[in-house]
Amino acid sequence: MPKQSPVRVPHCSTCPPKPRRRGKSEVGTSPHSQLLSNFHKFDNAPDAIPRLRRFILDLAVRGKLVKQDPNDEPASELPKRIAAEKERLVKEKKIKRPKVLPPIEAGEVPFEIPDGWECIRFSELATEVLTGPFGSMVHKSDYTENGIPLINPSHMTQGLVKPDPRISVSNVKAKALNSYVLQTGDMVMARRGEMGRCAIVTDDLGPTLCGTGSFILRFHKDVSRVYIYTLFKSKYVVTHLGGNSVGATMTNLNHGILNSMPIVLPPAPEQKRIVAKVDELMALCDRLEAAQAEGNKQRNRLVAATHHQINLPACRQDRPDSKAGDAKSNAKAGLNRPACQSCRQAGRQEISYFTPQPSHFTLHVRRTWPCSAKPSST
């Protein structure tokens, strides 16, 4: 039998109308509209949303997500203020004098940078980089319940610190580790395992200590911590750290690798604009992810309905729950439901599933009905 293509029919109780697509005049030019209008091109890929998130981060750190403002102070001024603050902290004996690294060479600049941006080493961006306590300073036997939490890489989740009350130490032990106390505005970064994993220490966190598997990163007040988090999640930084880390079984970072890393720095005001736009687009990704999950649920329902329809007997007399001529049983089985004229003439039932755009599933199940067993037209 030749394959029969689906026939679109006017709206009826069995065949709901297809959702209307917006015309070109209705589609905006904002990033939201561009992403929505093009998302259907790759939405069926299993990693579509993660790829989209990585693409947004890549645009952000390359200066292609927001427009540059010529009135912004050039990024080259920020390292000068950072250097002045570090000199003050050295004089106050709060930090050690940092090692001077060679300037960035042309071949180290990872990509073309916009006007007003600056490529510097990470040591010029951070005011201080501290390594957590050595393993010999904290033993498993030191752990106590609901003490002062230790922050290891496993406690860094989506840029936030999530302490585990079981991984904590007593107040006495915490005093011995007082040089590793985390302060509001610090960032903790994993120095083993997943490269680029980090979190921001907020003022509502309470007393916490840097764990053995982490770095403490401290910055000037004009450096956006959320931008640094965005930077560390970008493909460029993750690839750079992963390619230069050491260790055969588990990758490990050290001061030298981190401090020498080339960083592309935007002006301070642009850092805030980038963060705002990334937050906006990541929220859009969350909504697309929810819509995709709902679409997958509808697809599973469609598969189940297809399997059910295909395995039903072709004639109502063959159905175990129906008797020929029994109108009440037939109605209960759904055989007498109203159908549009085209569907009846084609001798099939149409089952339509509508999910959030761009997914739309329509199934036609071919049925054969003896003349005495056709569905009622009432």
363 shares a domain with 235: no
User: Is 210 among the domain residues?
Assistant: yes
**Per-residue pLDDT at 232 exceeds 70:** yes
pLDDT tens digits, one per residue of 91-136: 999 999 988 899 888 888 988 889 999 999 999 999 999 998 987 8
Spell 58-71 as b/e; 16+ CB within 10 A means b: ebbbbbebbeeeee
CA distance 190 to 176: 22
248 shares a domain with 345: no
**Per-residue pLDDT at 250 exceeds 80:** no
pLDDT at site 350:
41
Domain boundary among 214, 233, 266: 266
111 shares a domain with 234: yes
User: Is 17 among the domain residues?
Assistant: no
Residue range(s) defining the domain that contains residue 330: 27-47+285-373
249 shares a domain with 305: no
Residues 134/214, Cβ–Cβ less than 8 Å: no
User: Is 16 among the domain residues?
Assistant: no
Give the residue with greater pLDDT, 127 vs 139: 127
Q: Which residue type occupies 103? A: P
Give the residue with greater pLDDT, 355 vs 286: 286
3-state SS, residue 160: strand
Residues 330/81, Cβ–Cβ less than 8 Å: no
100 shares a domain with 146: yes
User: Is 346 among the domain residues?
Assistant: yes
CA distance 224 to 270: 10
User: Is 52 among the domain residues?
Assistant: no
300 shares a domain with 226: no
**Number of neighbouring beta carbons within 10 Å of residue 249:** 5
340 shares a domain with 209: no
pLDDT tens digits, one per residue of 17-73: 443 333 333 333 545 445 556 655 655 666 788 888 888 999 999 999 999 999 999
Q: How many domains does the chain have?
A: 2
**pTM for the full model?**
0.68
User: Is 11 among the domain residues?
Assistant: no
191 shares a domain with 99: yes
The CATH number of residue 204's host domain is 3.90.220.20
User: Is 62 among the domain residues?
Assistant: no
User: Is 10 among the domain residues?
Assistant: no
77 shares a domain with 41: no
Domain boundary among 210, 235, 266: 266
Residues 84/221, Cβ–Cβ less than 8 Å: no
171 shares a domain with 118: yes
109 shares a domain with 151: yes
pLDDT at site 378:
45
232 shares a domain with 190: yes
Contacts of 223 (CB under 8 A, 6+ apart): 78, 82, 125, 268, 271
